[in-house]
């Protein structure tokens, strides 16, 4: 079983929430869907809530799995699951681990400088938005 990561997909008024990583490192300055690795004993929903609180000091309500892919990082295959989530208070995000956040129209996503693993989620996310996110 591969290691597992989760990605938060929040859509408000047909715009998708993305966060830009702080400068530095191989992925510095790139946009990503918030999320991260599951810790021991966690399921996807628990990891989504924990990661979002760590990254934005804000609550999150996971709703449903919308797609899954995999990627290799440092020789380890990781599963990556995209989850549709709802923010009880979308205007109350504190930047803890990111340089900035942005709300993007679906048509702009492919042109962004995205983390490669998250780019693999775009077909699922665009289909989710198209079918009535």
Q: Which pLDDT does position 24 carry in this prediction?
A: 87
| Predicted confidence band of residue 119 (pLDDT cuts 50, 70, 90) | very high
Residue 121's domain comprises 3-130
What rounded mean pLDDT belongs to the chain?
Answer: 93
* CATH, residue 20: 3.90.79.10
- For residue range 79-112, list pLDDT tens digits in order: 999 999 999 987 789 999 999 999 999 999 999 9
Q: What is the pTM of this model?
A: 0.92
Q: CA-CA distance, 100 to 77, in Å (whole number)?
A: 29
For the chain, how many structural domains are there in total? 1
Given a cut of 60, whether residue 2 has pLDDT beyond it is no
Q: Are 129 and 48 in contact (CB under 8 A)?
A: no
């Amino acid at each position: 079983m591969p290691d597992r990561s989760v990605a938060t997909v929040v859509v408000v008024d047909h715009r998708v929430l993305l966060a830009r990583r702080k400068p530095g490192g191989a992925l510095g300055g790139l946009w990503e869907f918030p999320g991260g690795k599951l810790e021991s004993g966690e399921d996807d929903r628990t990891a989504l809530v924990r990661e979002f609180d760590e990254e934005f000091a804000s609550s999150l309500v996971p709703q449903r799995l919308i797609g899954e892919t995999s990627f290799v990082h440092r020789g380890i295959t990781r599963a990556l699951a995209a989850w549709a989530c709802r923010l009880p208070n979308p205007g109350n995000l504190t930047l803890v681990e990111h340089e900035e956040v942005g709300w993007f129209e679906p048509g702009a996503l492919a042109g962004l400088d995205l983390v490669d693993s998250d780019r693999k989620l775009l077909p699922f996310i665009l289909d989710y938005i198209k079918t009535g996110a």
